[in-house]
Amino acid sequence: MTLPLVDARTEAHAAGASVRTPTTTVEPAAAPRGGGLDASQTINAPTTTTSIGGTTPEAPARVRAAITRFQLTRSVWRAGAAAPQVRIRLDAARQTAATVQLRIEDRASHRLVAKQALGTVRSGVDVAQDVTKAIAAKPGRYRLRLVVTDATGKRARRAGAPALRNLRVREAQATATAPTPHAGATTVFPVQGRCNFRSLQAQRFQAGRGGGRRHNGQDIGTYDGSPPVVAFTAGVIERTWWDDAGGGWTLVLNGDDGIAYGYLHLQPGSTVVRAGQRVAAGQALANAGHSGGDYEPHLHFEMRPQPWSGNRDRAIDPYPVLVKLPNPCDG
């Protein structure tokens, strides 16, 4: 005999079982202090119950069910990431069903934080369901407990499955925000000589270039001179090299603040630091120049999160930082 699949609730009603609509309620008394959970809130209904159906929906036999599986797909849930799943299986001597609730407690205080109804689960079927997002908003350490009421009205016993599962909810990964020079760090304007921002207006950060490329730094014009360029902040020289792609003589300083500072178009032979060398803020590195292309002399100054390599798309506009520093530029 083949019958259409029915959902867990329909089946339970047909069987005359007492069933609750799968929802999650948050315990008023146990709502974490300062939490964003409204105590009367009804949270998400199950989204990923799987594998229900596939067998004949007979009335659940009034036999004891046992919990044979209780797993979490992950024990750490980074807020913002997909919810871990709870995987459950009940077994019984004959086909039966049971109502399942997940109780989520604070691991330290043992206080109930949320109740998540997982609906009616049939025996002999593996069921997977997302852990309620209600707790994703509250980083902490939780303990998950299954409460299974079988068709005899009793709590199902466990057979090989653990009683509890631990789940740690962690803060969302910080969005990849660009670092900024750290407060209090000594920062020094990178060009120590006659300079301007004016003659190279087109070479502001993100100025458009051919081929969809954008200017990735801030140019500091140096008129016809080759003034010294100095370490913007303390750090270690990552490397100095000839950049064939138009950068000419180039060096990168890994600042202690996590930013990689690029100095491009340096005067040939002027670099006085080498890879691995520690430098203080304001220490001379090389002279500005126009190597690498048919340029007006200038320093191309670029800031990226470290490492320099591979982070071109995460470059930071240096201008707001530069313009606030005492500097010798005349506009």
Q: Under the rule (CB under 5 A), what is the footprint of Zn ion?
A: 203, 219, 300
Among 72, 44, 60, 56, smallest CA distance to 5 is for: 56
Least distance CB 247 / Zn ion (angstroms): 9
Contact 125, 43 (CB under 8 A): no
Least distance CB 291 / Zn ion (angstroms): 12
Least distance CB 129 / Zn ion (angstroms): 55
Round to whole Å and give the CA distance between 107 and 119: 24
Ranked by CB distance to Zn ion, the top (closest) residue is 300
Round to whole Å and give the CA distance between 98 and 65: 7
Q: How far is CA 7 from CA 47, 50, 117, 331, in A?
A: 13, 10, 15, 73
Least distance CB 185 / Zn ion (angstroms): 24
Among 48, 35, 65, smallest CA distance to 146 is for: 65
Contacts of 251 (CB under 8 A, 6+ apart): 237, 238, 239, 240, 241, 262, 263, 266, 271, 273, 285, 286
Closer of 13 and 213 to Zn ion (Cβ): 213
Query: Hey, what are 62's tokens?
Result: 């009034």
Least distance CB 266 / Zn ion (angstroms): 12
Closer of 70 and 232 to Zn ion (Cβ): 232
Closer of 161 and 259 to Zn ion (Cβ): 259
Contact 285, 279 (CB under 8 A): yes
Contact 218, 317 (CB under 8 A): yes
Closer of 203 and 222 to Zn ion (Cβ): 203
Least distance CB 300 / Zn ion (angstroms): 3
Closer of 115 and 300 to Zn ion (Cβ): 300
Least distance CB 275 / Zn ion (angstroms): 23
Round to whole Å and give the CA distance between 298 and 202: 13
Closer of 165 and 304 to Zn ion (Cβ): 304
Closer of 98 and 315 to Zn ion (Cβ): 315
Round to whole Å and give the CA distance between 258 and 164: 42
